[in-house]
Amino acid sequence: MPLRRYLSVCSSGLRRALCRLLCASGLLVGSLAQAGVTAERTRVIFPAGASETSLPVTNLNAYPVMVQVWIDNGALDSTPDEAVAPIMPLPPLFPLMPAERRMLRLVFTGSDELPTDRESLYWLNIYEVPPSDAGKAPPLEQARVVVTMHTQMKVFYRPKKLSMSLEQAVSRLHFLHEGIDRGTLHVDNPSPYYITLTEIGLRVGSSRIAIPGGLVPPFSGIDLSIEPGVPSVEEKGRADFIWLDDDGNAHSAEVSLQ
């Protein structure tokens, strides 16, 4: 789950209201529509002490688009004028021609006092609007429809000299199967990193059940629902899982359930 993508369908008269409604409802359409403006990475690691970093973006559409970017805390109904984050993307608004590649600057503003013992998470929003073709619009303005795409990607602010590497952090994850009565798998992360798990395979005896992963915050944990009827941990179960590194590459690992 490296990216979040949302489709907004807005007539000119109700555009703002409908866009807010679609974002608030979390309409996820990554499988139905692909964002034409694509970043060359699936996540950004912003190291503490750096004044800025960069992210290349390319317009894969066959038509020009207007692109608006902002960084926030990940709320689906966030807007650029309401976003609060210590990192600012520049330029915030720009046109992008077909096949054009542009370097997006992410500048640290120093506006927040961020933790020094763990990562902080923000989200980069890429909102693309296609041309309206106003000259070809039908007689009734309200009949015209504009389709836009909103993509979100993670921005990790990483302090200096954390107590371990990301690879070491992954090896310290704890998986606790609560058994039939609870129907949950608890993943505990005692490390200073956000760890992205894309898939988990719960294996107890000869049985295996696939569980969607999640983003595990530092020094915290998440509870994942599992299907009823899976035997409890007393049967010496194991879990295999897929995690993503700083470049978005997938790696597999396996641990004993606790």
Last residue in a domain, options 158, 186, 214? 158
pLDDT tens per residue across span 161-217: 999 999 999 999 999 876 544 578 899 999 999 999 999 998 777 778 888 999 999
Instruction: CATH number of the domain at 11, please.
Output: 2.60.40.10
Same domain, 112 and 199: no
Same domain, 65 and 107: yes
Same domain, 149 and 229: no
Same domain, 143 and 203: no
Residues spanned by the domain of 221: 166-256
pLDDT tens per residue across span 76-131: 777 888 888 999 999 999 999 999 999 999 999 987 689 999 999 999 999 999 88
**CA separation for the pair 54, 43 (Å, rounded):** 12
CB neighbours of residue 25 within 10 Å: 11
Closest by Cα among 146, 158, 191 to 13: 146
**Residue predicted with more confidence, 133 or 95:** 95
Count of the separate structural domains present in the chain = 2
Alpha-carbon distances of 66 from 37, 69, 109, 131, 227, rounded to whole Å: 10, 10, 25, 8, 44
Same domain, 22 and 127: yes
Same domain, 99 and 148: yes
Last residue in a domain, options 103, 137, 158? 158
- Which pTM does this prediction carry? 0.80
Residue 170 parent element (H or E): helix 166-171
Residue with tokens 């966030």: 78
Same domain, 33 and 117: yes
Last residue in a domain, options 158, 188, 220? 158
